[in-house]
Amino acid sequence: MTRVLVVEDEPSLVRALEINLKARDYDVDTAPDGAHALRLAAAHPPDVVLLDLGLPDMDGIDVIKELRAWSRASVLVVSARRTSEVKVTALDAGADDYIAKPFSMDELLARLRAAARRIESAKPSDEPAVIVTEDFTLDLPAKKARRDGRDVRLTPTEWHLVEVLVRDSGRLVSHQQLLQEVWGPFHSTQTNYLRVYMAHVRRKLEADPAHPRHFTTAPGMGYRFDP
Ligand code: CA
């Protein structure tokens, strides 16, 4: 659900926005001034901020600058100030869009949908949570492995190793990268660790550990996971 923070000191407009947004399944918070807005944005991070510039306690431009220092929310200015100079100032301060008052509710909702789409496409795509191969299944969030219908127990280090390889599925991951990610920066030359732990992982997951199909070795370079 997209969370919208409405920052506006005109109560009738706050009510109109709240009713319209909630009717379209947005999660809505409201703040009547800049100080409240910043506190709420920190406590309950919004996806989009609808921001009036003429606020009783501070200028909306300063609210944008403050938000930009730590918030990733999209900021849509909704203001009666119509000069292009003000629009440029707001956009330069970090606003994402500008709607002049009076506005049509349909236009505001369309701009809001566009902002929400941009946020959605900017989010990192979810990594595959469950990996299914012919021989075994890995449920990464639950840290559960199954082979031949039975649970397989991996130690935390084995899981970590598996996760790093699975994340780069199909690509060679170097010894150094694996050692650094799993054992930390002071072990980057100890490839014997890798041999031992890879042998454990193969014994637990591969159908034929001596001839692994999924966790393969690139001699002298690293390892690769193929689903
Ligand atoms: Ca105002």
From CA 30, how far away is CA 58, in angstroms rounded? 16
Give the distance (Å) from ligand 1 centre to CA of residue 17.
14
Whether the Cβ atoms of residue 179 and residue 191 lie closer than 8 Å to each other:
yes
Rg over CA atoms, the chain: 26
At the fourth CATH level, the homologous superfamily of domain 3-121 is Response regulator (3.40.50.2300)
The verdict on domain 130-225 having CATH code 2.60.120.580 is no
Give dist(CA 169, CA 206) in Å, integer: 16
Q: For the chain, what are the domain ranges?
A: 3-121, 130-225
DSSP 105: H
For residue 5, the CA-to-ligand 1 centroid distance in Å is 15
Report pLDDT digits (tens) over 88-123.
Answer: 999 999 898 999 999 999 999 999 998 888 777 665
% the chain with pLDDT above 90: 63
**Ligand 1 centroid to residue 185 C-alpha, Å:** 54
Neighbours of ion ligand 1 (CB under 5 A): 9, 52, 54
200: number of CA atoms within 13 Å, CB side?
16
Report how far ligand 1's centroid is from the alpha carbon of 54 (Å). Answer: 4
Residues 6 or more apart whose Cβ sits within 8 Å of residue 110: none
CA of 52 to the centre of ligand 1 (A): 6
Report residue 47's pLDDT band, with 50, 70 and 90 as the boundaries. Answer: very high
